[in-house]
Amino acid sequence: TGDVDGPIDRLPGLQRRVVKNHEALAERIVAHGDANGLDWTVARSFTVDHSFSIPHQLVVQPAEQLMGKTLPSIPVYLACGVDPYISLQRSADLGRQIRAAVESFDADERVVIIGSGGISHWVGTAEMGKVAEDFDREILQQGVNGDLAGLCAWSDEEILRRAGNGAMEIRNFACAMAALEQPVGEVIAYEAVPAWVTGLGFVQLKEARA
């Protein structure tokens, strides 16, 4: 809800910078959660990592240049890096809460939600560099179909076995998908890149009725 900068990690071509936060909307999301039985952990100052900064640099900043204005952003982090993990169903609940909070916000603004995270990848294990393309394509297809129930049906054991500990980040996808009432998607691109130790996939979601 306050100052945002980053990324904290150094990656080629990714410059550290201050990010304009949408403090009023962030505070509304927190207040809506408080009123509806959801206790957000809130940071008044936060340094993001590459999971936020990469999509911000590749998606938000080009949009700012095209539109000629700054687009404020709100980083939301889910517990998907190390055990204990937030459940997929709870991740979806958060997405629904975010939607409800945005709808109750008193300003008429367009809000885009980016579910950023890896698909298959193994972090710090002997399998690092392996990519499970079959798993990746199943996840992307669930996005295309708007199959939130199918996405949330994955067990942690199956995700870890088939796609590695990094694939636990599909919780971010569930959160973003649940923010839509009738999601339907389109695969923008997919490529398995062992040199980058992950499968890279991009799905654009929208309301089916729109």
pLDDT for the residue numbered 127? 93
Please write down the HEC assignment for all residues of 6-38: ECCCCECCECCEEECECHHHHHHHHHHHHHCCC
Asked if 132 and 141 count as a contact pair (C-beta separation under 8 A), the reply is no
> Could you give the CA distance from residue 163 to residue 127 in angstroms, rounded to a whole number?
10
Separation between Cα atoms, residue 41 and residue 84, nearest integer Å: 16
pLDDT band at 210 (very low <50, low <70, confident <90, very high): low
Mean pLDDT value across residues 102-129: 94
Answer whether the bond into residue 84 is a cis peptide, omega within 30°: yes
Q: Tell me, what amino acid is at 98?
A: I
Q: What's the pLDDT tens digit per position in 31-62?
A: 999 999 999 999 999 999 999 999 999 999 99
Map out the domains of the chain with their CATH numbers.
Answer: 3-207 (3.40.830.10)
pLDDT by residue (tens digit) across 141-159?
Answer: 999 999 999 999 999 999 9
Q: Note the pLDDT tens digit of each residue in 132-142.
A: 999 999 999 99
186 φ, ψ (degrees, to nearest 5): -140, 130
pLDDT of residue 84: 95
Q: What is the mean pLDDT of residues 171-197?
A: 96
pLDDT value at residue 208: 87
Q: Reply yes or no on whether the pLDDT at 195 is more than 80.
A: yes
- Say what the pLDDT of residue 110 is: 93
Looking at residue 52, what is its pLDDT?
96
Q: Give me the pLDDT at residue 209, please.
A: 77
